[in-house]
Amino acid sequence: MFVVKANHMVKPLSQSDLLLYFYGEAEVETVDYIQANIAENPDWSNYLNELYETTSDLDVLMISPAPTTLSIILEESDSKLYHSI
């Protein structure tokens, strides 16, 4: 849990809030709060950078089969449907 003092007010901010912010699913008030206070909270920036690096690494690992391979699999599976035993 992250805590920040902004405008003489303390608001707890969880990693879940930052995760929702990262994916563009946070409530407007949370987005405004994060954007207004992120410069004063390097922990938030570090966490968001870790999320970015992790999602980038996962995107690289997502390997799809070649289109030709998919075509062959689909053709073979389709032809089996119409063959009697």
**Total-model pTM:** 0.59
The two counts, helices (H) then strands (E), for the chain are 4, 2
**What's the pLDDT score for residue 59?**
72
Q: What is the pLDDT of residue 85?
A: 44
Buried b / exposed e across 41-67, counting CB within 10 Å, b at 16+? beebeebbeebeeeeeeeeeeeeeeee
pLDDT at 57 (0 to 100): 79
CA angle 45, 30, 50 (to 5 degrees): 25
Residue 23 phi, psi (nearest 5): -90, 5
Chunked into runs of 10 residues, the chain (85 residues) has average pLDDT values of: 51 85 91 92 93 82 70 66 46
Q: Token pair of 80, please?
A: 């089996």
Give the model confidence (pLDDT) of 47-62 as tens digits: 999 999 988 877 776 6
Task: Write down the domain spans for the chain.
Answer: 2-81
**Are 34 and 18 contacting, i.e. CB atoms less than 8 angstroms apart?**
yes
